[in-house]
Amino acid sequence: MSFPDPLTASNAALAIEPAFRVGGVAVHGDLILSPMDGYSDQPFRSLCRSIGSAMSYTEFINAIDVVHILKRIEAKFAYLEAERPVVFQIFDDDPQRLLKAAQMLVPYQPDIIDINMGCSDKSVAGRGAGAGLLREPGKVASIFRLLSQNLPVPVTGKIRLGWDAESRNYLDIARIIEDNGGALVAVHGRTKAQGYGGEADWDAIAEIKQALHIPVIGNGDVRTVADIDRLKAHTGCDGVMVGRAAIGNPWIFARLDREDVTREQVHQIVYDHLGRMQEFYGPERGLVLFRKHAAHYLGPLFKSVAERRQLLTETDSQNFLAKVESLYAAGA
């Protein structure tokens, strides 16, 4: 009888050991694309997932839309099986409506339901949803208690540090989430009032991590690969969310800074990402929606504002790609 080599067996076990678990959902990796309205659609999420993002958060979905026009918004939470674990992120200010929306989304088989408590946009936070929920800890408790007791999947929350500098109640909110059944907290280290300005407070993320027993994801001011490691070391968080730094550099999920990415890799991803967009949205709309990504991918190749404008207003795929090839030829 032969026995497995202990070192080989140990290495195999390490290879499949998850970085952390969200309830019963294993997450293999510590870098995650942050949910971003207008960016984290299925084409971009799946691209980042293929490069190394460990799970896929949808763009946030309004619970009112789920309840009233579900069929018309299905594209918002469409996903590929290869993206799993998949997190459907929803927002609202009404606990019962959030529960109803989540129950309506369960048949689409998300792995996790996430409650957005971080959006600082006036149209969301101003009506008490998103970061507006941070001002109502009792309502946060009701939401997580209701959803965790009535859903078959884990419930998580993405928060900010508070409404403003005078109401940084992040520890209370984080504990409320955990105490009422929440399975993970993702923390953007800014207040609602800061928006995306100022510096993210990594000390506050570390406080939350030390206070909770569930996984904590850190988010804010991650621009480079070195920032990923610094945030993890500073906070002890289980994973790192990367948002704006991934736009134009999805290779950050392979721990590559943009300056370490070759021209050939950029060339290839333009075709790959555009193809995903056109397959998902159709040829015309896919190109139009891709152009904002192309501006980031190809920015270093533009020699003039006029050249940039010509490419980024092109509506014909063949002409668009011909202009891309001209950019590469000129820069060769």
> E-assigned strands of 29-111?
31-33, 56-57, 61-62, 86-91
Residues in the chain with pLDDT < 70?
1-15, 331-332
pLDDT of residue 224: 97
pLDDT of residue 6: 37
Report residue 185: phi and psi, to 5°.
-125, 125
* CA–CA dist 226, 274 (Å, integer): 29
User: Is residue 118 within 8 Å of residue 177, measured between CB atoms?
Assistant: no
pLDDT of residue 330: 80
**237 counts as catalytic:** no
* CA–CA dist 71, 319 (Å, integer): 34
> E-assigned strands of 223-295?
239-242
* CA–CA dist 221, 227 (Å, integer): 8
* CA–CA dist 25, 12 (Å, integer): 20
pLDDT of residue 332: 54
* CA–CA dist 45, 66 (Å, integer): 21
Burial 177-203 (b: 16+ CB within 10 A, else e): bbebbbbbbbbbbbbbbbeeeeebbbe
pTM of this prediction exceeds 0.85: yes
* CA–CA dist 100, 153 (Å, integer): 14
What CATH architecture does domain 22-257 belong to?
Alpha-Beta Barrel (3.20)
Q: Which two tokens stand for residue 193?
A: 């009032």
pLDDT of residue 15: 52
> What type of residue is 32?
I
Please give the full DSSP string across 265-283, using - where no structure is assigned: HHHHHHHHHHHHHHHHH-H
- Identify which of 202, 174, 172 has the alpha carbon closest to the alpha carbon of residue 188: 202
pLDDT of residue 331: 66
**Catalytic residue from among 27, 119, 200, 222:** 119
pLDDT digits (tens, 9 = 90+) for 10-46: 344 345 799 999 999 999 999 999 999 999 999 999 9
Domain ranges of the chain: 22-257, 262-331
**Interior CA angle at 292 toward 286 and 298, to 5°?**
110
- Which fold is adopted by the domain 262-331? 1.10.1200
The DSSP output letter for 215 is -
**Interior CA angle at 146 toward 144 and 149, to 5°?**
95
